[in-house]
């Protein structure tokens, strides 16, 4: 009896739910789907919340799970174009209908502005994941890569064709080529070859009028702006033509672990003095985290993680000359190919055995399971030992903290500040970024976020000033957000000059030129000057 009641109740609820979902389609969905179908867009590329795949499509490229919690606003629709003309249709229809659109390639934005709109709703997401073709041309040292490809896929396809070519972009293989390159993009080859954005030859972009433009058609100002000016401000980038760089057949990697005991900050201080002055072929970053040694004891681990464009013998010689304090030995060194070194650099915590794993791992599209809060700083003079000691103490106070020190110098210091929108070049010794990670269900989220904020405040005297530098690919909405609707350039320049210094004003001029009505916008997009009507 009971089961009959409950099963008919079940059927009734299902019917109610179904009729609700059939009748709740919003005007936005209807008008947009209608417009898209007039442009011959297949319905199979459109997901509304009533579609059973909607959540998985939204979440599989949401790389900071705190932004998929139920309380966070969701898009009315996700459109996953299969071709350039589909992207054109998306822009034309959304603009015509006044629908707010967010752009997503790999979904790694620290603040999720690519798939969450906190203060403008309703909104839709243009998810470029299906635009992911890669063609590598070894004869002219170039590759064309669509924005939905990941860095891992790009590296893999390059290595498939050649073992002496590479590309100097980020260390995380799941990062999307779209957002990454337009925000700068750095990895362990930055001291030799600069940023990913420094190695772009051409690009294709859909502008606010739905036109596809290449470098010649968009002009040098817009081409300048999209190489470091950050995503979501100027148009929908479709693909990049990039310049491949030379890598030797033999790369050497190493990781030297040190536990940071009280009063034992000398080596880290020494690293600060030498890291940006080493041979350009060598990059040594420092990764710090906290380890629970027992239920009551904690210690800080520092890993000196090296990447060298050459063999171990030359590396050992260089290290003896410039950084003997680390005590690097031949046994610490692993000689490998560039593609396998990518596997090594990608893993935090570091696992040297990855060097021996299959590069096919780079093709995996993994969704992050840990949420995080992160911030970045640029450092222009060594942080004193007393402050290093305080850092050590603070790391011991947080559950899953991490600090990464990335050496600058070399090529980074040779590229003029105004050559691309990314300005943190000459004089920057290293970049310093701090994170706290947590898992779903963690009760102390507010505490983790405030740990990061408090550390950022503590670091103020020791990092770049006037302005205090920031990196747009490590987006931080604490630095300031645009207002709803129109935004004043003066207010935006507070966060804008942190990311771009003097280049911010030129970005505003380009924005005013190419998108005066501010169609492409988010919490931290470049605002146009208010035009008199
Ligand atoms: C785990 C992890 C590791 C990382 N490692 C590195 C690293 O080693 N080096 C480094 O430099 N950075 C690194 N980053 C930062 C990363 O480069 C940025 O988050 C980058 O913007 C991500 O690009 P995406 O396409 O994956 O992200 P998305 O979230 O899709 O996009 C980021 C921004 O670009 C916009 N955008 C996306 N696609 C387009 C497009 N086609 N046209 C115009 N605008 C677009 C979005 O609207 C958003 O504003 C890392 C981030 C994470 C989470
Ligand atoms: C889902 O919503 C869309 C758009 O409103 C509508 O066209 C479609 O019929 C709905 N599908 C289902 C299965 O409810
Ligand atoms: C969900 O969307 C996919 C792709 O558009 C489609 O194949 C499927 O039929 C849709 N399912 C529902 C229940 O609407
Ligand atoms: C911390 O770093 C050490 C050394 O890099 C590593 O062995 C350990 O797994 C890391 N711990 C976490 C929680 O990441
Ligand atoms: C350390 O232990 C705490 C619980 O005591 C736990 O929450 C945290 O995740 C652990 N951190 C690491 C890095 O293992
Ligand atoms: C926004 O627009 C309104 C009306 O045009 C204007 O009064 C206001 O000053 C603008 N705000 C900013 C921040 O520009």
> Which pLDDT does position 3 carry in this prediction?
44
Residues paired with 284 in a beta bridge: 306
Residues paired with 166 in a beta bridge: 245
pLDDT per residue as tens digits for the range 334-381: 999 999 999 999 976 677 788 888 999 999 998 999 999 999 999 999
The secondary element (H helix, E strand) that includes residue 243 is strand 236-243
CATH code for the part of the protein at 251-336+369-469: 3.40.462.20
Say yes or no: CB of residue 47 within 6 Å of ligand 3.
yes
Q: Which of 45-59, 343-357, 416-430, 480-494 is predicted least confidently?
A: 343-357
Q: What percent of the chain has pLDDT over 70?
A: 94
Per-residue confidence at 21, pLDDT binned at 50, 70, 90?
very low
Is 0.85 topped by the overall pTM? yes
The rounded distance, in Å, linking the Cα atoms of 148 and 130 is: 6
pLDDT of 5 higher than 60: no
Which fold is adopted by the domain 134-246?
3.30.465
Which CATH architecture fits 2-127? 2-Layer Sandwich (3.30)
pLDDT of 451 higher than 80: yes
Give the position, in ligand 6's atom list, of the atom nearest the Cα of 483.
13
Per-residue confidence at 485, pLDDT binned at 50, 70, 90?
low
Report the interhelical angle of 151-161 vs 338-346 (nearest 10°).
160
The rounded distance, in Å, linking the Cα atoms of 196 and 154 is: 12
The bridge status of strand 123-127 relative to strand 77-79 is parallel
Instruction: Show me where the domains of the chain are located.
Output: 2-127, 134-246, 251-336+369-469
pLDDT per residue as tens digits for the range 274-298: 999 999 999 999 999 999 988 889 9
pLDDT per residue as tens digits for the range 358-370: 999 999 998 999 9
Say yes or no: CB of residue 301 within 6 Å of ligand 4.
yes
Among protein residues, the one whose CA lies closest to atom 7 of ligand 6: 486
Average pLDDT of the residues in 406-426: 98
> Which pLDDT does position 6 carry in this prediction?
46
pLDDT of 17 higher than 70: no
Do 134-246 and 251-336+369-469 come out as alike in CATH topology? no
Handedness of CA 354, 356, 362, 364 (dihedral sign): negative
pLDDT of 444 higher than 50: yes
Among protein residues, the one whose CA lies closest to atom 3 of ligand 3: 44
| Residue 474 bears catalytic tag | yes
Phi, psi (degrees; rounded to nearest 5) at 99: -95, 130
Q: How far is the CA of 10 from the centre of ligand 3 (A)?
A: 23
> Which pLDDT does position 18 carry in this prediction?
45
- Helix/strand/coil for 171: coil
> Which pLDDT does position 416 carry in this prediction?
98
Among protein residues, the one whose CA lies closest to atom 5 of ligand 5: 295
User: Smallest Cα–Cα separation from 86: which of 43, 51, 139, 22?
Assistant: 43
pLDDT of 1 higher than 50: no
pLDDT per residue as tens digits for the range 79-133: 999 999 999 999 999 999 999 999 999 999 999 999 999 888 899 999 999 999 9
pLDDT per residue as tens digits for the range 177-209: 999 999 999 999 999 999 999 999 999 999 999
Which residues line ligand 5 at a C-beta cut-off of 6 Å? 290-292, 399-400
């Amino acid at each position: 009896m009971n089961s009959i009641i409950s099963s008919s109740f079940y059927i009734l609820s299902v019917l109610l739910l179904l009729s609700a979902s059939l009748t709740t389609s919003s005007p936005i969905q209807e008008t947009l789907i209608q417009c898209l179908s007039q442009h011959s867009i297949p319905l199979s590329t459109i997901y509304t919340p009533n579609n059973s795949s909607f959540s998985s499509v939204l979440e599989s490229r949401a790389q900071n799970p705190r932004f998929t919690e139920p309380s966070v606003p969701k898009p009315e629709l996700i459109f996953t174009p299969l071709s350039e003309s589909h992207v054109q249709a998306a822009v034309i229809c959304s603009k015509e209908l006044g629908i707010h659109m967010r752009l997503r390639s790999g979904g790694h934005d620290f603040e999720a502005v690519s798939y969450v709109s906190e203060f403008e709703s309703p909104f839709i997401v243009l998810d470029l994941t299906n635009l992911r073709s890669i063609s590598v041309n070894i004869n002219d040292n170039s590759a064309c890569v669509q924005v939905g490809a990941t860095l891992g896929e790009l590296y893999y396809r390059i290595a498939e064709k050649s073992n002496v070519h590479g590309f100097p972009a980020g260390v995380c293989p799941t990062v999307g080529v779209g957002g990454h390159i337009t925000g700068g993009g750095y990895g362990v080859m930055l001291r030799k070859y600069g940023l990913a954005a420094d190695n772009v030859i051409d690009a294709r972009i859909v502008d606010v009028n739905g036109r596809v433009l290449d470098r010649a058609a968009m002009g040098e100002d817009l081409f300048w702006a999209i190489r470091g000016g950050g995503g979501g401000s100027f148009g929908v980038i479709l693909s990049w033509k990039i310049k491949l760089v030379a890598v030797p057949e033999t790369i050497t990697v190493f990781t030297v672990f040190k536990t940071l005991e009280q009063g034992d900050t000398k080596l880290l201080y020494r690293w600060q003095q030498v890291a940006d002055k080493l041979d350009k072929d060598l990059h040594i970053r420092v990764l710090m985290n906290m380890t629970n040694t027992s239920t009551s004891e904690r210690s800080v681990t520092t890993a000196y993680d090296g990447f060298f464009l050459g063999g171990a013998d030359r590396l050992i010689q260089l290290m003896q000359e410039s950084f003997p304090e680390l005590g690097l030995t031949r046994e610490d060194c692993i000689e490998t190919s560039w593609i396998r070194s990518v596997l090594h650099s990608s893993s935090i915590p570091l696992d040297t055995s990855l060097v021996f794993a299959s590069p096919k791992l780079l093709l995996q599209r993994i969704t992050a399971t840990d949420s995080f809060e992160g911030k970045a700083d640029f450092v222009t003079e060594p942080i004193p030992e007393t402050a290093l000691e305080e850092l050590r103490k603070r790391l011991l106070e947080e559950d899953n903290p991490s600090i990464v020190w990335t050496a600058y110098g070399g090529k980074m210091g040779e590229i003029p500040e105004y050559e691309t929108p990314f300005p943190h070049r000459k004089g920057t010794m290293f970049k310093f970024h701090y994170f706290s990670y947590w898992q779903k269900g963690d009760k102390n989220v507010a505490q983790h976020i405030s740990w990061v904020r408090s550390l950022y405040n503590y670091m103020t005297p020791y990092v770049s000033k006037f302005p205090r530098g920031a990196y747009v690919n490590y987006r931080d909405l604490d630095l300031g957000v645009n207002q709803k609707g129109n935004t004043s350039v003066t207010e935006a320049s507070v966060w804008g000059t942190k990311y771009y210094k003097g280049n911010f004003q030129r970005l505003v001029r380009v924005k005013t030129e190419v998108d005066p009505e501010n169609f492409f916008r988010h919490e931290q997009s470049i605002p146009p000057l208010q035009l008199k009507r």
